[in-house]
Structure 1
Amino acid sequence: MPTRTEPAPGVHDLRHHGDAEVRGAEAGLTDLAVNVRDGTPPLWLTERIAASLGALAAYPDGRAAREAVAARHGLPVERVLLTAGAAEAFVLIARAFPARRPVVVHPQFTEPEAALRDAGRPVERVLLGECDGFRLDPGAVPADADLVVVGNPTNPTSVLHPARVLAELARPGRTLVVDEAFMDAVPGERGSLASRTDLPGLVVLRSLTKTWGLAGLRVGYVLAGPDEVTALERAQPLWPVSSPALVAAEACCAPAALAEAADAAQRIAADRAHLLGRLGELDGVRVCGPAEGPFVLLRVADASGVRARLRERGFAVRRGDTFPGLGPEWLRSAVRDCRTTDRFVTALRSVLRPEGAR
C-alpha cells in the first residue's frame, strides 16, 4: 500500500491500547502487549520515589526536575515543559495550537489523533505503506499542513525515521510534533531531534514510562521553543505533575541513570535481533523491518485467531487493527529476553499450525 492521504473516518478504536490486552488478565500470562521494559522500575528508582512521599503536604515544585531535563538534553530550561506523561502533552498540543489543517502520520500511536479530534480539529491522515516499509516520504505531507504529528521510532511499526527526513518537515508557520517516547530504547538515540534548536516549530515529546516502568506514575516532558512551551503551559492545569513524578524525572536524568538506560538499549537491540531471527524461522509470519524499537510488527493470516490461541498458551500480544493504516492481519509484540522469546516462538509456531492441520 503506497503512501496516501485521507480524512480521518473514525473507524478505528483510537482509545484501544496494549494495556487492554492484559488488564484483569489471568495469573501467569506473559505480557508482550505492553512496551514497558521488563523488570522495571529498578529498586534504586522506587526507593527515590518512596523517599519523596514524606513531602506530599507541599505543593509540587518542578524547578529541579525541569533543570535536570534541560541539562540532560543540553537545552535552556525555558525549552522544557514537564507533563503527566506524553498523553497529556498531546491534549495540550490540541488545545494550545489552533491548527487549520492538522495531519497525523499513520500507522502510529493513536492518542495524538484522538486528542485533536476531541478538540474539534479536522484531522487528516498520511498513511504510510507496507510496500515502502512504512517509511516517511516528506513530500506526502500536504505543504499547507500547519500541524504535523509523527512518531520516531514509530509505534507500532518500529521504524526509525532518519533525523534529516524529519527535519524536512519543519518550516515557518507549521508545528512539527515528533513523538520520541521510545527514543531512549535506541542505542545512541540516533535519529533524535530532541536537542535541535534550529528547526522552526519543532515540538519533541519524551516519556519516562517505557524505559523506567513508570506507567502508573504518569511523567514525561516536552522540548520546544520558548513560545511553544509558554502556549502549552497556559493550556495546562496548575501543578499537573505530582511530587513523586518530579523526583522520578530528576532521577532518570542523572548521569548514572542515563548510563543504565544506554546499557538497556543495547540489551534491547540484542534481544530484538534474537526475536527477529527466531521469527524468521516461521512460515507464514512477515515482520516489518528493519525494526529499531523495543517491539516488532508482525503480519500473519487470521491474526485475531492467532492472538486468541496465543493467549490460551499464556501469551498476550497487541492487536494491530486499531491503528489507522493497518488491517486485521497485524499483531505487535514487545521485545523480551531470549528465554521468553524462545517460549513465545514455540507457542506461535504451534498456533500457526493448529492441531490436526497438515
Structure 2
Amino acid sequence: MADGFDLWHHGDLEVGDGLVDLAVNVRSGTPPPWLIDAITASLPDLAAYPRQEAAVRAVAARHRMDPERVLLTAGAAEAFVLIARAFRPRHAVVVHPQFTEPEAALRSAGHMVDRVILRPEDGFVLDPAAIPADADLVVIGNPTNPTSVLHRADDLRELARPDRILVVDEAFMDAVPGEPESLAGASIPGLVVIRSLTKTWGLAGLRVGYVLAAAGLIEQLAAVQPHWPVSTPALAAAIACSNEHAVAEAAAAALDTERQRSYLLDNLVAGRTYGVPRGPFVLVQVAGGTVLREALRAKGYAVRRGDTFPGLGPDWLRIAVRPEDVVDGFVKVWRDTAVDL
C-alpha cells in the first residue's frame, strides 16, 4: 500500500471461475493459431539457452530502428523494474491515474515518487506544464491505463529534457488504429518507450515485451537485467508478432476494437466517462461503484475496480472492450443492476 492505494493490485485478481472477464485488457480470441504454431515450433529448442539476436532484429525492423536500440524483456513489468534499478533519479514523477506497476517498482527500489494527478474535469488530458521542472524521471502511459486517454505526441515531446528520463508506456498503443501518437522509434533525448505483446496477442502467460531507447540507455538497462530473461518460446513470439502479416493483423484488430468500444459506450446507460477513450477499455464513474461491481460479479461479470489507481476512488470502474455479443449480455445485466441500486 502507498498512501492508501494498493499499487500491486491488477485486473487478473478480479477474475474467477464462471465469470465473464471484462476486467483484464487482453484481446478476446487470442493467441491466434499461427502464433501458437510459431511458439510450439520453438519447443524442441528448449534444451539450449535462449539466443535473442533474431528476435531483437525482428523488433528493430518492425520499428525501423537499429537493433542496439532494442531491449527484450519478460513483459512490460520487467522493464519497469529495470528502470528502477538502472537509474538513480533525484525527483521521480509518475503521472496518474495510470498503470501502477511503474510506481510500485520505483518505490520497491527505494526511490521517492511524486504524483501528478490528471483530473476528470480536464478529460484526464496531460498538461505538460503540470510536470515539475526539476523532475529527472517522468513516467506516463499512452494510451493511459485505466483512463483510455491518448495523449498528443507533441505534448509528450515537451516533457523531454537533456537531463531527464522520459518513460512512455505504450503497452496499448497497437490497439489504437494507426498508432497516431506513438513515439516508438523517435530520436528524443532521454526517451524510453515500453511496448508489450501481451494485450493484442494474448500472451500474458508467456511474458514478453521490449524497450526502445537510445543505445546508451539500453546498455544501462541491460546491465541490471538477469541473464536469459526472455525464454525461447517468448523469443519465437516476438519474431512472429513483428512481421508484416502480424502488424497488418494487429491493425485490423485495432479497428475491430474501435468499433466494439463505440458499441459498448453507446449501450452503457448508467455511468459517466471523461475524455475521449482510445484504448481497448473504458473508465466509467458511477454512483455506488463498489456495490455495483460486487453485484455484477454475483451475476457472472468481472470488471476492474478503480480505487487502486491514485486519483480515482471506489465509484470508478474499468471495463474491457469485448465483442458485441458479450457486450449485449453484459449491458443487460449492467442496466438491470444499476437500476436496482
Normalising by structure 1, we get a TM-score of 0.94
| Contact 1:288–1:296 (8 Å) recurs in 2 | no
**In the alignment, which residue of structure 2 is the partner of 1:288?**
274
Pair 1:339 & 2:325 matched:
yes
C-alpha RMSD over aligned residues: 1.0
Pair 1:227 & 2:216 matched:
yes
Question: Residues 206-231 of structure 1, C-alpha deviation per residue, up to 9 Å, x if partnerless?
Answer: 00000000000000000000010000
The match for 1:58 among 36, 48, 62 is 48
Question: Residues 261-318 of structure 1, C-alpha deviation per residue, up to 9 Å, x if partnerless?
Answer: 0000000001111111111xx1x41023310000000001111110011111111000
Q: How many residues align?
A: 341
**In the alignment, which residue of structure 2 is the partner of 1:14?**
7
**In the alignment, which residue of structure 1 is the partner of 2:85?**
95
| Contact 2:122–2:275 (8 Å) recurs in 1 | no
Superposition pairs for residues 62-81 of structure 1, below 5 Å?
62-81=52-71
Pair 1:36 & 2:36 matched:
no
**What percentage of aligned pairs have identical amino acids?**
64
Question: Residues 14-60 of structure 1, C-alpha deviation per residue, up to 9 Å, x if partnerless?
Answer: 000000001xx122x11000000000000110111011110001100
**In the alignment, which residue of structure 2 is the partner of 1:4?**
none
- In 1: Cα distance, 2:252 partner to 2:85 partner: 37
| Contact 1:101–1:122 (8 Å) recurs in 2 | yes
Q: 1:12 Cα shift?
A: 0.1
- In 2: Cα distance, 1:26 partner to 1:45 partner: 26
Amino acid at match of 2:27: R
**In the alignment, which residue of structure 1 is the partner of 2:265?**
276
Question: Residues 75-114 of structure 1, C-alpha deviation per residue, up to 9 Å, x if partnerless?
Answer: 0000000000000000000000100000000000000000
The match for 1:241 among 212, 227, 230 is 230
Q: 1:341 Cα shift?
A: 1.0
Give secondary structure in 2 for the equivalent of 1:297. Answer: strand
Q: 1:9 Cα shift?
A: 5.0
**In the alignment, which residue of structure 2 is the partner of 1:85?**
75
Aligned structure 1 segments of 4 or more residues deviating by more than 2 angstroms? none
The match for 1:300 among 281, 286, 295 is 286
**In the alignment, which residue of structure 2 is the partner of 1:265?**
254
**In the alignment, which residue of structure 2 is the partner of 1:208?**
197
Consecutive unaligned residues of structure 2, counting only runs of 5 or more, are none
Amino acid at match of 1:26: D
Pair 1:159 & 2:149 matched:
yes
Consecutive unaligned residues of structure 1, counting only runs of 5 or more, are 1-7
- In 1: Cα distance, 2:50 partner to 2:2 partner: 41
The match for 2:17 among 26, 36, 39 is 26
The match for 2:109 among 119, 125, 138 is 119
Normalising by structure 2, we get a TM-score of 0.99
- In 2: Cα distance, 1:152 partner to 1:62 partner: 27
Pair 1:324 & 2:310 matched:
yes
- In 1: Cα distance, 2:290 partner to 2:121 partner: 23
Amino acid at match of 1:104: V
Amino acid at match of 1:225: A
Give secondary structure in 1 for the equivalent of 2:133. Answer: coil
**In the alignment, which residue of structure 2 is the partner of 1:107?**
97
Q: 1:10 Cα shift?
A: 2.8
- In 2: Cα distance, 1:88 partner to 1:50 partner: 24
- In 2: Cα distance, 1:139 partner to 1:287 partner: 24
- In 1: Cα distance, 2:47 partner to 2:3 partner: 43
- In 2: Cα distance, 1:257 partner to 1:289 partner: 30
- In 1: Cα distance, 2:271 partner to 2:80 partner: 34
**In the alignment, which residue of structure 1 is the partner of 2:337?**
351
| Contact 1:268–1:294 (8 Å) recurs in 2 | yes
Amino acid at match of 2:226: P
- In 1: Cα distance, 2:43 partner to 2:122 partner: 50
Question: Residues 112-166 of structure 1, C-alpha deviation per residue, up to 9 Å, x if partnerless?
Answer: 0000000110100000001101110000000010000000000000000010011
**In the alignment, which residue of structure 2 is the partner of 1:3?**
none
- In 2: Cα distance, 1:37 partner to 1:337 partner: 10
